Amino acid sequence: MRQLCITGYGVVSSIGIGKEQTLCSLLEERAGLVRVKYLATMHDEFPVGEVQLSNDEMVASLGIAPETPMTRTALFGMMALREALADGGLTKEDISHAAFVSGTTVGGMDKSEQYYLDFLENDSRNAYIATHDGGACGEMIADHFGRFKTITSLSTACSSAANAVIYGSRLIERGEVDVAVVGGSECITKFHLNGFNSLMILDRDLCRPFDASRAGINLGEGAAYLVLEDAEHAYRRGAKVYAYLTGYGNACDAYHQTASSPEGEGSYLAMSKALNMAKIEPSEVSYINAHGTGTRDNDSSESAAMRRLFGESVPPVSSTKSFTGHTTSASGAIEMAICLLAMQHRFIPANLRWQKSDGCIEPVKSTQRNVELRYVLCNSFGFGGNDTSLLLSKYDGYEPKYDGSVAQEEICEEKVYLYAASQISVQEPLSEAWMDNPLPVAEGYNRAIEPDYKQFIQPMEARRMGKLMKRAVAVSSDVLNKSGVAMPDAIVSGTGLGCVEYTELFLDPMCREGETLLKPTYFMQSTHNTVSSSLAIRLKCHGYNTTYSHKSISFDSALDDAIMQIAKGEVETAMVCGFDEVTPSYYGLLKKIGFLGQPGEPSGECAVALMIGVKDKTDKKPLCRIAEHRLLYCPTDTELTEAVSVILADSSIDRSMVDSVMLGYNGSDVVDKRYDKLLEGPLQGMEALRYKNLFGECYSAPALGVYAAASCLAKGKVPAFMRRDGGEGLAVSNILVINYDDGKDCSITLLCSDC
């Protein structure tokens, strides 16, 4: 098992630009919660923790050309990443071997809400349509410093950055990279300020986590990134080590979309997992940086969870949200940075403004100095009960256990099988009818075909669900039935744009009529992980639950995460979903920037669910085996050729045995030419298959690519209309699925019928 350590970090929040200022504010007990200044909102009654820099100041500091389209979230990210990379001593060359994993929920919403009406009515702000999604945000941040080996983004609301730490850890543990730069970024937007207001959980006074009089959140903003590194790699390059990351745990509360369970089941499980992984006893924990938002609900639930785990002797606890405000998606990383400062400078930060207990745990009231912090737990919980806990251990010097060679037992991995798959798309829903009777798909906007939802969803539930949510519930129910798996160990999803319909329904009146009387139902479903957590709530599934949101590799990142957990033996089954919807007006926006609506190109929508797991997990015969799966960022032809060779070599499959390669041909000139070029180079001699002629284009279309290839393997045959160059139906036993639409994000999956 590789050991993980942190060799650099950078942080930006309302209490400081950089580590030094942050440390001073913490030691001097100086909160950053003031009257709103940078956000153009009418809600100045709510104190906020804004980063005290304007966008222009950050653009100048980062040396970005003034006219470049930039979002505040991306700028924070760059500020924090710059410090982290410098602190970790990473050069451009180092970066090209490293992964970048970033969490955000609102992404470029600050500009989207500012220019929403322009997007619809004129072409003056089109450049900002492309900076809206979380993946674009992650790439803007990363690309400023060079080209990382792999990039992805995830979006699990307020636990996003903490979950980025987990995915980065897995990439290092698998040996994919030695260094992963992980964290998250978020700016305050009118969108979520009004959203939280519609849920009535914002405090008009300064927030008071764990206090009897607590009345809600103060929103904050900022970013932080950590350089996470294989300890041996760090030792060899002589990097300074701040601490080890010895434990992490993610669990789903599976209770309610916006409320925490009274007994804190999800947070209890997350903390327990982190301690178990680190093999330490609860009594050894020196400090807990709590999620502690200041809402009635969270703080009592989190207190209950801590009491369950630690009994009467709960270690010192504080919520540093009393300094920074709730920095939502960035909070996991910002609070890890605070924990690292505390460990390094031997202090426990205060939980400001706490006065009286109402049964919650009693936090640390003022800064405690000269304390040795050996084990520090950092909690981050998100909407839908997406609960994550990370454990840092003190660094005592490192002796490499072996001399650079990878131990043999690490290579032994569980094989991963695909047991069942289901889709709702522009083809006949919940069925493989498309293989024999494909429906024609027209150029332009196509809405998915809805099945009868009554068999899956009660009317009282359905009334609040957007179309994406209904589709996800239907495909996941179908895949549970088909696979014979009653309860998956993990639910991992990917979505490029999330619930567009409800986001629009919230945004539209806010931009037209102003910031009043907005509907909480729409806000709740606007976060990308709503779907994944709703599936968990329906199933009462407390297992691992995460949602990736990075353009066309959203689904692939989810699949990658699930495969790594199965291969490592952490879980035996995982439900992996990919879903995206468009609305007619959002289709219009995406057409303006050339993502959809190119001549000859059909657009689609989809919800796909796969059930994957270890061998013989159910008595159902698997559709196929998932032999390999890899993600690459901006690979050159040589790198892609190499990656394909390595994948084939790793799975002992001769190139001549790969019958065909499923590619994302979508009818648009640019994309089709890119795939043609691959067939002339890295994929020379392979038979090209296509699937978007049947299913259309959308960010989650690659999920349909895997689904279609698996369906073909189960039948042993590819229908003639899927062959790029025409001809008869084709017998198949191994299919490569490659997704490389935009020439940046690339995924490679090898599916084999040997099962």
Partner 1 sequence: MEELILKLKKEIIEVLNLEDIKPEDIDDNAPLFGEGLALDSIDALELIVLMEKNYGIKIKDPNEGKEIFKSVTVMAEYIDKHRTK
- Which residues bind to partner 1, rule: CB under 8 A? 198-200, 256-259, 459-460, 462-464, 517-521, 524
CB of 45 to partner 1, least distance (A): 11
Residues 6+ apart with CB under 8 A from 177: 97, 98, 99, 149, 150, 171
CB of 296 to partner 1, least distance (A): 10
CB of 517 to partner 1, least distance (A): 5
User: The tokens of 318 are what?
Assistant: 């504080």
Q: Tell me how far apart the alpha carbons of residues 250 and 170 are, in angstroms, rounded to a whole number.
A: 13
In the complex with partner 1, the residue whose CB is nearer, 201 or 689, is 201
CB of 200 to partner 1, least distance (A): 5
Q: Tell me how far apart the alpha carbons of residues 612 and 562 are, in angstroms, rounded to a whole number.
A: 8
- Interhelix angle for 190-198 vs 500-513, to 10°? 100
Q: Tell me how far apart the alpha carbons of residues 327 and 220 are, in angstroms, rounded to a whole number.
A: 4
Which candidate in 132, 233, 291, 629 is catalytic? Answer: 291
CB of 555 to partner 1, least distance (A): 29
In the complex with partner 1, the residue whose CB is nearer, 502 or 633, is 502
In the complex with partner 1, the residue whose CB is nearer, 296 or 723, is 296
In the complex with partner 1, the residue whose CB is nearer, 237 or 256, is 256
CB of 519 to partner 1, least distance (A): 6
CB of 198 to partner 1, least distance (A): 7
Question: Is 629 assigned a catalytic role?
Answer: no
Question: Is 412 assigned a catalytic role?
Answer: no
CB of 201 to partner 1, least distance (A): 9
Which candidate in 5, 137, 158, 746 is catalytic? Answer: 158
In the complex with partner 1, the residue whose CB is nearer, 258 or 423, is 258
In the complex with partner 1, the residue whose CB is nearer, 166 or 473, is 473
Residue 530's H or E segment, with its range, is helix 530-539
End-to-end CA distance of the chain: 29
CA distance readout (Å), 36 to 189, 205, 293, 426, 507: 11, 13, 19, 46, 21
Q: Cβ(672)–Cβ(688) under 8 Å?
A: no
CB atoms within 10 A of CB 400: 12
Q: Tell me how far apart the alpha carbons of residues 627 and 612 are, in angstroms, rounded to a whole number.
A: 12
Question: Is 752 assigned a catalytic role?
Answer: no
Q: Is 447 helix (H, G, I), strand (E, B) or coil?
A: coil
**598: Cα separation from own chain's centroid:** 29
Q: Is 22 helix (H, G, I), strand (E, B) or coil?
A: helix
Q: Tell me how far apart the alpha carbons of residues 332 and 337 are, in angstroms, rounded to a whole number.
A: 9
Q: HEC states along 704-744?
A: HHHHHHHHHHHHCEECHHHECCCCCCEECCEEEEEECCCCC
Q: Cβ(244)–Cβ(231) under 8 Å?
A: yes
In the complex with partner 1, the residue whose CB is nearer, 61 or 257, is 257
Which candidate in 132, 192, 233, 326 is catalytic? Answer: 326
| Complete DSSP assignment for 170-231 | HHHHTTS-SEEEEEEEE---HHHHHHHHHTT-B-SS---TT-TT---B-BB-EEEEEEEEEH
In the complex with partner 1, the residue whose CB is nearer, 24 or 200, is 200
In 364-511, which ranges are E strands? Answer: 368-369, 375-382, 386-394, 416-424, 490-494
Active site residue ranges: 158, 291, 326
